[in-house]
Amino acid sequence: MSLDPREYQARDGLLQGRIVLITGASDGIGKALALRAAKLGAQVILHGRNSEKLEAVYDEIIADKSALQPSIACMDLATADSAAYTSLANSIETEFGHLDGLVHNAGILGDRMTLEQYDAAVFQRVLHVNLTAAFALTQVCLPLLKLSSDPSIIFTSSGVGRKGRAFWGAYSISKFGTEAMMQILADEQSHSGMRVNCINPGAVKTNMRLEAYPAEDRDKLKEPGDILASYLYLLGPDSGTTTGQSIDAQ
Ligand code: NAP
């Protein structure tokens, strides 16, 4: 990497015409990224589980008359079956023919408690939404990404995805798994021209952060819109052959 992705300055039109699917685009970091990517010319596919929230993001995007009209993909990652993933990929193929960017951003926190006390059903749900769902979505999207001239996959990690810490339970384990999935996929795709990387957003003022740290001073936290430089770098052409990296957004 020649430059620090955190310092990257996205130019107007950076993502012009790129088809980018963002999971968890209804809120937090995913929403902020969807709005910014659309502003930079991307054709955004807004994924989430709440159609009302997704429609609100859609409306915000089309309020800018120069933005391309986004698509909405409503699918609950906790319950989606293989037919739902296939149907999503088929819709993208029919509507756009290919995919240039896939951002795995959706996630849940689960419980903050010891492994000794951790509820097994919550453990399974967190692993499923944060890790298995990203695997399933990657699998159905790979053929569409391979049709792009500059494909990029971004996984979302965390500080506790690199170093385990007490009380972070299934969330931490899911993020270690995410780092592993990124490394494996990057290695497997190393000759295909596909970028596969992880971003650790750091502390960001979102609902998830509030759930994790209810007592902290939120005024000190970065807004989701302030930490997007490395996402835009990896989605656009300037990141070139950058792959297999785990990048800190802050
Ligand atoms: P957030 O505001 O809670 O947003 C999470 C997004 O994921 C929302 O759009 C949410 O949909 C969606 N989602 C959750 N469960 C889903 C499901 N079952 N099916 C479909 N969509 C689902 O969280 P965030 O802070 O922006 O987090 C985004 C990513 O950054 C996560 O992967 C998180 O682990 C990571 N991260 C965040 C921080 C931080 O400080 N914020 C730090 C490190 C890593 P709804 O709108 O319907 O809830």
d(CA 155, CA 198): 5
Q: How many CA atoms lie within 13 A of 151 on its CB side?
A: 22
Ligand 1 atom 35, closest CA: 156
Q: Is 106 close to ligand 1, i.e. is its CB under 6 Å away? A: yes
Is the pLDDT at 183 greater than 60? The verdict is yes
Structural domain boundaries, residue 36: 5-248
Catalytic member of 171, 213, 231, 233: 171
Report how many domains make up the chain.
1
Is the pLDDT at 49 greater than 90? The verdict is yes
Answer whether 0.95 is exceeded by the pTM: yes
Ligand 1 atom 2, closest CA: 28
Q: How far is the CA of 209 from the centre of ligand 1 (A)?
A: 9
Return the pLDDT at 2: 62
Give per-residue pLDDT as tens, 80-89: 999 999 999 9
**Ligand 1 nearest atom to the CA of residue 205, by list position:** 41
Q: Is 76 close to ligand 1, i.e. is its CB under 6 Å away? A: yes
| Torsion sign over Cα 86, 88, 93, 99 | negative
Return the ∠ at Cα 218 (arms to 216 and 219), rounded to 5°. Answer: 130
Looking at the chain, list the stretches that DSSP marks H as alpha helix, in order from N- to C-terminal side.
28-39, 51-62, 82-96, 120-127, 133-145, 169-188, 207-212, 229-235
| Torsion sign over Cα 235, 81, 185, 200 | positive
Return the pLDDT at 3: 83
The yes-or-no answer on residue 213 being catalytic is no
Return the pLDDT at 203: 98
Beta bridge partners of 136: none
Q: Is 151 close to ligand 1, i.e. is its CB under 6 Å away? A: no
Q: Is 108 close to ligand 1, i.e. is its CB under 6 Å away? A: yes
Q: Is 199 close to ligand 1, i.e. is its CB under 6 Å away? A: no
- CATH number for the domain including 25? 3.40.50.720
Across 163-184, average pLDDT: 98
- Tokens 């991307």 correspond to 42
Q: Is 49 close to ligand 1, i.e. is its CB under 6 Å away? A: yes
Joined tokens for residue 63: 């309020």
Q: How far is the CA of 207 from the centre of ligand 1 (A)?
A: 8
